[in-house]
Amino acid sequence: MSFKDQIQRRRTFGIISHPDAGKTTLTEKLLLFGGAIQEAGAVKNNKIKKTATSDFMEIERQRGISVATSVLAFLYKDKKINILDTPGHKDFAEDTFRTLTAVDSVIVVIDVAKGVEEQTEKLVQVCRMRNIPIIVFINKLDREGKDAFDLLDEVEQKLGLAVTPLSFPIGMGYDFKGIYNIYEKNINLFSGDNKKNIEDTIAFDDLNNAELENIIGNKAAEELRENLELVQGVYPAFDKESYLKGTQQPVFFGSALNNFGVRELLDCFIEIAPAPRPKKSEERLVVADEEEMTGFVFKIHANMDPKHRDRLAFVKIVSGTFERNKPYLHVRQNKKLKFSSPNAFFAEKKEIVDISYPGDIVGLHDTGNFKIGDTLTEGEILHYKGIPSFSPEHFRYINNADPMKSKQLFKGIDQLMDEGVAQLFTLEINGRKVIGTVGALQFEVIQYRLEHEYGAKCTYENFPVHKACWVEPEDPKNEEFKEFKRVKQKFLAKDKRGQLVFLADSQFSLQMTQQKYPSVKLHFVSEFD
Ligand code: G4P
């Protein structure tokens, strides 16, 4: 197969949802379609369970499992599909944000009864910022839920999407009869039997055909005709280009648990979802079919075995082919590295691979060379954009609890920050270190890992910060900025990259600061154009 064909057959995407909407179940059904797993339950473990909020042994165990499920690849109808795991747990949202820099499209799963939930809103916002093509899957149609039109409205309003349904439910919950597939023009009847095949769908080009009454009954037939008429009247026809630009989002209905509506979703997905897309670097736009390999690290996972402190760096291949034992330039460190055992992922397994193509993820064993956001090339100086840090929600001073182990502590903190577990801020005024995290859970994870992986002990002290804002002065030399730095000295820190950060102690002080120093821009994200 030619290089170009290899690129064209790849689909790299993430499934995002609020916890419990059905992401894991859907992932599993997709893998079943690809024949990548044999039975249900095989990927059930890839989520951090709610019960784990204060049990870090459990987190560690699950973290181990999630290495295996970080990338799930399978073949379906000759397409190579890579699903990147995106933790739904809000304490790991930052992980998910970063993973979204490595996907070419996403599927958003929404619970028919709960509608659009908080975590989904945040994640979709990030996708919209990047114009990532989105398909929506409304799940659990076998249960009572909201009216389909109300849900479509909710998706439009809360998520800011412009939807067009490509399938439509016939009834719901107790009365759920099946779905009409607008995209393929057929009916799939629901029987609660999840072994159903494509042959069981009934082609139905013309809904005025009286046969419809025989199949789904008079009342349902009438309702379906009315609903589809309304769909036609209200929603624009599906337009692939608009979907690819991120300006229109097709919607499917189904029930992942019953494997219902999933085949329809997958068949449409492989047809319309983009092959690896071009990616912006600071220097230029890089296109997948360029000959030279380029890629970037979007995730780092520490080894579960404390005796081997190596880590697995996940690299998304953007262009060219990644080959085993070939030297690549680690741009930030300006040194060439060779990898003798790059891992590829297949279903829940990882194996050594000789060659990987754009869209693929390779796992590289790393002894501390990589940071999230690092770029690999064949020699070109290139920096991939778009792995920003977001303002953390929780802040604490971190103190050394064992003076004999300060070296270990600093090394541990350094490496955990490179992995993206949390963010470190160093106060300008006294050099004290402050850890900022998205969820309270990470403080326990850090403390536990420092002790078990680095032999260092830390304690925390409260540090009341409302938000961390990255500071961008209009003119670093102007008086206003000088005054800002002088007056706010106590609240200023540097992040790990040396960028200046303002730690606002309340929403009020943030507003006052913005008003008083209008020429000093305060950003909630570390990267700004
Ligand atoms: P998540 O990864 O998004 O967090 O969700 P997950 O797939 O684990 O699904 C959450 C719960 O919803 C699970 O039940 C799952 O079985 C159920 N579920 C998923 N899809 C459907 C569906 O189409 N219909 C119905 N009725 N339920 C669905 P659970 O009881 O929390 O977990 P489990 O005991 O089944 O593992």
Residue 174 burial (10 A CB sphere; 0-12, 13-18, 19+): exposed
Q: What is the CATH number of the domain that holds 405?
A: 3.30.70.3280
Q: 135, 265 in Cβ contact below 8 A?
A: yes
Please check whether residue 419 lies inside any domain of the structure.
Answer: yes
Per-residue pLDDT at 69: 62
pLDDT of res. 192: 60
* Residue 14, both tokens: 């993430």
Is residue 430 located within the same domain as residue 519?
Answer: yes
Six-digit token pair at 142? 């076998």
Between strands 423-427 and 433-437, the pairing is antiparallel
Q: Is the CB of 24 under 6 A from ligand 1?
A: yes
Classify residue 69: in a domain, yes or no: yes
Count of domains forming the chain:
3
Tell whether 160 is covered by a domain. yes
Note down the domain range covering 495: 394-523
User: Identity (one letter) of the amino acid at 222?
Assistant: E
247 found inside a domain: yes
Give the closest residue to 163 by CA, choosing from 88, 221, 110.
Answer: 110
The pLDDT value given to residue 496: 86
Closest CA to 22 of 190, 305, 258: 258
* Cα 519 from Cα 66, distance rounded (Å): 44
Surface-to-core class of residue 87, CB atoms within 10 Å of its CB (0-12 exposed, 13-18 middle, 19+ buried): buried
- Buried b vs exposed e over 471-499: b needs ≥16 C-beta within 10 Å? bebeeeeeeebeebbeebeebbbebbeeb
The protein residue with its alpha carbon nearest to ligand 1, atom 30, reads 20
Domain check: are 45 and 156 in the same one? yes
Torsion of CA 52, 54, 56, 61, to 10 degrees: -10
Q: Does 484 fall in a domain?
A: yes
Q: What is the pLDDT of residues 285-335, one digit of tens each?
A: 999 999 999 999 998 887 655 566 678 899 999 999 999 999 999 999 999
Compute the mean pLDDT over every residue in the chain, rounded to the nearest whole number.
87
Q: What is residue 137's DSSP assignment?
A: E
Interface pTM (ipTM) of the complex?
0.97
- Mark whether 326 and 251 lie in a shared domain: no
Which amino acid does the sequence have at 512? M
* 12 lies in the same domain as 111: yes
Pocket test for ligand 1, best of 257, 262, 264 (most atoms within 8 A of CB): 257
pLDDT < 50: residue spans in the chain: 46-54, 196, 198-199
Residue 179 lies in a domain: no
- Cβ(168)–Cβ(255) under 8 Å? no
Token digits of residue 280? 């912006």
- First and final C-alpha spacing in the chain: 40
Same domain, 265 and 354: no
Indicate the residue among 333, 348, 377 that finishes a domain. Answer: 377
Return the pLDDT at 285: 96
* Whether residue 330 is found in the same domain as residue 292: yes
Beta bridge partners of 115: 111
The answer as to whether 199 is a domain residue is no
Output helix, strand, coil percentages for the chain, rounded to the nearest 5.
30, 30, 40
Residue 303, Cβ density class (10 Å: 0-12 exposed, 13-18 middle, ≥19 buried) = middle
Q: Of 272, 297, 319, which marks where a domain is finished?
A: 272
Evaluate: CB of 27 within 6 angstroms of ligand 1: no
Binding-site residues sit at 17-24, 85-89, 139-142
Burial of 105 (0-12, 13-18, 19+ CB in 10 A): buried
Q: Tokens at residue 152, please? A: 């479509």
Same domain, 504 and 366: no
Distance, CA of 205 to CA of 187 (rounded, Å): 10
Q: By the 8 A CB rule, do 416 and 446 touch?
A: yes
Q: What is the CATH number of the domain that holds 362?
A: 2.40.30.10
CA of 165 to the centre of ligand 1 (A): 23
- Return the amino acid letter for 380: E
pTM of structure: 0.85
Q: Is the CB of 20 under 6 A from ligand 1?
A: yes
Q: How far apart are CA 286 and CA 384, in angstroms?
A: 9
Q: Answer yes or no: is 167 within a domain.
A: yes
Statement to judge: residues 360 and 410 lie in one domain:
no
Q: Same domain, yes or no, for 15 and 54?
A: yes
DSSP run (H or E) holding 313: strand 311-319
Indicate which CATH number applies to the domain containing 115: 3.40.50.300
Considering only CA atoms, which of 280, 337, 291, 345 is closest in space to residue 314?
345
Q: Whose CA is nearest to atom 15 of ligand 1?
A: 22
Tell which of 377, 411, 443 closes a domain.
377
Q: 461: closest CA among 438, 443, 441?
A: 443
Judge if 82 and 120 occupy the same domain. yes
Q: Which residues contact 487 (CB under 8 A, 6 or more apart)?
A: none
Integer Cα distance of 473 and 110 in angstroms: 41
Q: Please tell me the residue having the least CA distance from ligand 1 atom 36.
A: 44
Given a contact cutoff of 8 angstroms between Cβ atoms, the answer to whether 140 and 255 are in contact is yes
Pair of tokens at residue 345:
């992922």
Same-domain pairing of 358 and 402: no
**239 and 94, same structural domain?**
yes
Q: How far is CA 119 from CA 90, 94, 102, in A?
A: 7, 12, 19
Q: Which residues contact 20 (CB under 8 A, 6 or more apart)?
A: 88, 111
HSE-CB for 54 with a 13 A CA cutoff? 0
Q: Is the CB of 302 under 6 A from ligand 1?
A: no
Position in ligand 1 atom list of the atom nearest CA 25: 7
